[in-house]
Each structure stands twice: as C-alpha cells, then as structure tokens.
A and B are shown apart, each in its own frame.
Chain A
Amino acid sequence: MITAAVPEREDYLNVSHGLKSWLLTKDHKRIGLLYLATITLFFFLGGVFATVIRIELLTPGGGLVSSETYNKLFTMHGVTMIFFFLLPSIPAVFGNFFLPMMIGARDLAFPRINLLSWYLLVVGGLFALFAMLAGGVDTGWTFYTPYSTTYSNTWVIATALGIFVAGFSSILTGLNFIVTIHRMRAPGMTWFRMPLFVWAHYATALIQVLGTPVLAVTIVLVFCERVFHIGIFDPALGGDPVLFQHLFWFYSHPAVYIMILPAMGVVSELVSTFSRKAIFGYRIVAFSSVAIAVLGFLVWGHHMFVSGQSLFAGMAFSFLSYFVAIPSAIKVFNWTATLYKGSISYATPMLYAFGFIGLFTMGGLTGLFVAALGIDVHVTDTYFVVAHFHYIMVGGAIMGYMGGLHYWWPKMTGRMYPEGWAKLSALVIFLGFNLTFFPQFILGYLGMPRRYHTYPAEFQILHVLSTAGASVLAVGYAIPMIYFAWSLRYGKVAGANPWGATGLEWKTASPPPLHNFDKIPVVTHDAYDYSTVVGEAVEVG
C-alpha cells in the first residue's frame, strides 16, 4: 500500500490545468467539484437570508425589516436552499463523483450532458440571483396562486424561470444516473452487489425524471396566466387555484425524497464502513428506496388539508401518507440492527450518521403527526411544520451531506481533514441544530404561525432560544469551511482506503486517476464484504 503521494503520479486534478480545463471538462469527478463549489455558494447565500430572518425574530415587534421585506426574505431563503442547494447537493456532488466509481465505470453514460446539467444549474441560479438583486420575490417557495399569478408585484417570473431551468439540470442528472446504472456496471457488478448508495440514487433518479417535468409544466402555466392572463388557476379568470397546489405538490412532495433518499444512501455506506458489517437486510434496504420513490408520488394531498380540497381526498391522502413511513422506518431499524455487534468506530462521518438517524427519526415521526388530518388542521402553517421539515432537511439531509463530505474528502482531494476539529464541529452542529429547531415544535404547537415577523410577546423566549441556536449552528458550519480549505495544503496525505471500506471507489488511488481505474475491476463479492479488505490500513478510529 502506497501512502505517500508520489509527486509525478497523474490524477484527475493535475492531468490538465487552467480555467478552461475545468469549464469544458467532461470528467464526472471534476463536474462533481464544480457542483460542490456552486452549491456551497448558494448554501452561503441561503444562510445569509436565514440569519436576517432569525435576527428579525428576536423581538416580537418586528422592527428590523418591513413585512414586505420579511416576505421576500423567507421566500428567497426557501428558494435558494431547496432548489439551488439541497436538491442538487448529494446527487450532483457525490452522486456524480462516486456513482460511476462505485459500479466500476470510467464515467457517467453521457459526459457532455453531465456538463450541460451543471451549466443549466448555473444559468437557473443566475436567473434567481438576478431576481433577488433586482428586488426579490415574496410568494413563498411554494408560489401559491392566485397570489403568484395575479397579485404579487415582485419578480415571480424571473425566479420561476430560474427554477424551470434548474429543473432540467435535475432531470438530466437523473437520466444520466439511470442509464449509467443500467448500462455501465463493471463485470460481476450485479444489481444486488451494488452499494446501497447506488440504489438510493437509482430511486432518486426515478423521481427526478418522473416528477420534475410536472414542475416545469406548472411553471409554464403560471407564466401563461401571469403574462397572458389565460385562466388556469385564478377563479376570476375561470381557473381553479387548488389545481396549482395539486400540480405543485405532485412534484414537491416527491422532491422531498430527492433530498432525503441520497442522504439515506450515504448513511448506509457510513453505517456499514464504521461498524465493519454488511448492512442488515441489504435487499430490503435496497427495495425500500424504490418503494419510497413510488409511494412518495401518492401522498401529495397531505399538504392541502386546509386548501379547499375535498374532505374525501383529504382522508385518502392522509391514509396513504402512512404507507410511505414504512420503508423509511425499515431503513432506520436496519441501520440500527447493523450496529448490533458491529466493530464501531466513532470517526466524524459516523458521528454525522448517528446525527442523521436520530434527527431523521424525529422529523419522520412528526411527519406522521402532520399527516394525520385532524392534527394537521391545528398545526398546519405553524412553526410545527417548519420544525418538522427542518428536522428532515437540515437534521437529516444536511447531516448526510456533511457525513459524506468528510467520508469522501480524502478520496476527492487526497488529503485527510483534521479529525479533532471535525469531531468538535460535528458536535457543535448537532447541539446548534437542536437548539434552533426544537423550540420551533413547541412554538408551533402553541400556535405561532409561520411566515409572520410579529408575534405575541409570550413567544419571545422560544424565539430567542431558536436564534441563539442558529448562531451556534452557523459557527458549526463555519469551522469545516476553514479546516477543509486548510487541509488541501496541510492535511495528512491520505492512502487509497483510509477507512478500510469495501466500495470500489476505495480500490483506486486518492485522488483517483482521470479514468478512475487503471484496470476495470471485476467484481466477485457482495457489497460490504469485509473479508475483501482485511489488513487494509485504517488511519483514523
């Protein structure tokens, strides 16, 4: 095992130089890094909006910004975080980088389309950015009609077009993954030898391809009504506003699984690697991803219990929502069962995996609360819902993202991050997260509505706690930014397989050569067969 970097060894980073070699690259690994840079910028932007929101909510009077500005702030926070950070995050960065490597391929099936999809995200992002700089948009990330089509005087169309374009980025990424998984597996890499990360991305890709076109159609319809006054959603023009919500949530509920399924895939890798055991019930976990993708399309009406949707449909959607919880619960139980008698090490990625399991469970269970028709009438549009989805999207998806970032950092860069600092920041993030969002469950249950910047004085203490937590969380996210940058130069040089993991991505050098493998691997074992890595260096425990 070579652990010191031989200076002249050629890898995907030093094979060519200059801006052009990056902007015109067809290498899935470089495109993954382009995405990483892009979404990090959007994460920062979304974070700035969140900061202003939390500062505003320190006091009940709402003195810092006007109501109009506040509406724009939470809209732009949601739009940025969902469409330009979380939806692309794990699939476009780690999926791009590692999905081909994990199945023993040299690249994705369509490298040019892969590059195109990055450009589409950038162009969409620029549209949205333009709208924000030109004056912002105030409809909420949900763009409900007829407000968005008739009454809002803000930059609805520019923002919606940005989302439209970014949607095609998502579709093309999904398409690329599906074709790659079908056609590019290395010899011996059967479907049931694929890592669960790949299964999770297959399921995600199905949602991207089947769901996102409906979002695109919906945006076009909003455009037609807002610009040409063709009556589709506005009752005054003969439309039906609830139709918008059907179309929007047909995409946007499945979209929440575009955000969480890839994180579940990461967690499967982490739990296996750091307990040195195969995932308990591999096939069930693999199928549960596909089950989530399919069932996720049947529950969207649970966002519409108080929208004027018929009571019958409300009951049906409430009932169906309970089914989608089953495959999610299967995963949680199977990860837990994997830990049993495992040889567990508490490296930073594993800390994030633990964070994911606990916080996702809380988010998922409160999902069942809000899926219950009767309870939801009480808590809908309150901070309870805000807490529910932040437990899943920040506590779940971003924990998975951070875990993956630490896990694969040595592979992507060839350098280790500083373990002590990383553990510290994982802890800070966990504490900051809970301090930010747990009080919001209580706030919401007591009746604090979402999307208001003034509130009764008795809610102040909980809001102050939440803002305090957000400050801690911000520190937690800032520390990794610093040490990751630091590690690029000063980090310990990483070997090919620092964790003793089983995936094919660890069977090649760190950082990998341009075409991933010197020789295409032939797969003879199941995923997570630790007899294949006996004696390989484990550098961090």
Chain B
Amino acid sequence: MTEHIDSIRTYALVLLALLVLTAVTTLVAFVDLGEFSVVVALAIAVCKMLLVALFFMHVRHSTKLTKLVLLGGLLWLVILLMLTLSDFTTRGWIGVPGR
C-alpha cells in the first residue's frame, strides 16, 4: 500500500464544496418543498459524507479491504433503516382486533 497524498489544492476545493453544500442545505430549508425537503436535505448530506470519506479520510486511495469495511458499515445502516421502516410504514396494512 503506497501512501498517496492529495495536493493542498484538492483539499481546499473539497472544503469549499462542503461549505457551499452547507449553505445550500440552509437555503433550501427556507423553501417549502413539501415531502421533498427531507429528500433534498438527505441527498446533500450523502454528497458531503462521500466527499469527507473519499478525500479527507483517504478512502479513495485505500485498499479493497478498507473499502469493504466502509460498504459493510453502510449496508448495516441500511438494514437498520429498512427493517425499522418495515414496521413504521406498514402499521395500517393489517388490522389488529381491538386496535
């Protein structure tokens, strides 16, 4: 594994991107998009997360194993959200006597 070091310029650009995205999140919060405000906010958050992981945390230049660890963590987050929502979104599906 060779140490790859990004240039200062790259880091500065990523920082700038993160700041811009933060500003966008804040601005969008003032616009009423209905149900989509959550979608937009989360989409921006995911972009920021990717920037931080890929550049600041060097995942871009990491071994396959490190990438696998990252993907594993994400997959587990998906399990947590999906199965929790499998309750939340289906509460009206099947009636329960007395409820």
Contact = CB atoms under 8 A, between A and B. Distances in A.
Contacts of A210: 72-73, 76
B1 interface: no
Contacts of A202: none
- Tell me what chain B mostly uses at the interface: helix, strand, loop, or mixed: helix
Interface stretch (B5-13, B22-30, B37-45, B84-92): B84-92
B79 interface: yes
Nearest to B99: A308
A243 interface: yes
With a 10 A CB-CB cut-off, give which of B79, B83, B90, B96 has the most chain A CB atoms. B83
A301 B83 contact: yes
Given A210-B72, A311-B94, A242 B87 contact: yes
A250 interface: yes
Contacts of A300: 83
B80 interface: yes
Contacts of A246: 80, 83-84, 87
Interface string B59-99: 00000010000001100100110011011101111101000
Contacts of B94: 310-312
Nearest to A251: B80
B69 to A, nearest CB: 9
A304 B94 CA distance: 16
B93 A311 contact: yes
Nearest to A309: B87
B87 A310 contact: yes
Contact of B91 (A297, A298, A310): A310
B96 A316 contact: no
Contacts of A309: 87
Interface string A240-261: 1011001100100000000000
B73 to A, nearest CB: 7
Nearest to B94: A311
Interface in A277-299: 297-298
Given A310-B93, A310-B94, A312-B93, A298 B87 contact: no
A297 B83 CA distance: 10
Contacts of B90: 310, 312-313
Contacts of A468: none
Contacts of B84: 243, 246-247, 250
B96 A311 contact: yes
A214 interface: yes
Contact of B83 (A182, A240, A298, A311): A298
A179 to B, nearest CB: 11
Contact of A297 (B73, B76, B96): B76
Nearest to A314: B87
Contact of A312 (B65, B73, B86): B86
Contacts of B72: 210
Contact of A214 (B65, B80, B96): B80
A215 B72 CA distance: 18
A21 to B, nearest CB: 36
Nearest to B82: A298
B15 to A, nearest CB: 27
Contacts of A247: 80, 84
B74 to A, nearest CB: 11
B93 A298 contact: no
B53 to A, nearest CB: 16
Contacts of A214: 80
Interface in A211-229: 214
A298 B86 contact: no
Contact of A313 (B65, B79, B80, B87): B87
B88 to A, nearest CB: 8
Interface string A314-329: 0011000000000000
Contacts of B76: 210, 297
With a 10 A CB-CB cut-off, give which of B65, B76, B92, B94 has the most chain A CB atoms. B76
A253 B90 CA distance: 22
B86 A316 contact: yes
Contacts of A301: 83, 87
B84 to A, nearest CB: 5
B4 to A, nearest CB: 21
B78 to A, nearest CB: 11
A214 B96 CA distance: 30
Contacts of A311: 93-94, 96
A309 B65 CA distance: 37
Contacts of A310: 86-88, 90-94
A216 to B, nearest CB: 13
Contacts of B73: 210
A240 B85 CA distance: 13
Nearest to A178: B69
Contacts of B80: 214, 246-247, 250
B61 to A, nearest CB: 19
A310 B91 CA distance: 4
Given A182-B65, A316-B83, A316-B86, 6 more contacts: A246-B84, A247-B84, A250-B80, A310-B91, A310-B93, A312-B86
Interface of A: 182, 210, 214, 240, 242-243, 246-247, 250, 297-298, 300-301, 304, 309-313, 316-317
List 9 tightest A-B contacts by C-beta distance, closest first. Answer: A313-B87, A312-B90, A311-B94, A310-B91, A310-B90, A246-B84, A309-B87, A210-B76, A312-B93
20 contacts: A182-B65, A210-B73, A242-B87, A246-B83, A247-B84, A298-B79, A298-B83, A301-B83, A304-B87, A309-B87, A310-B91, A311-B93, A311-B94, A311-B96, A312-B86, A312-B93, A312-B94, A313-B87, A313-B90, A316-B83
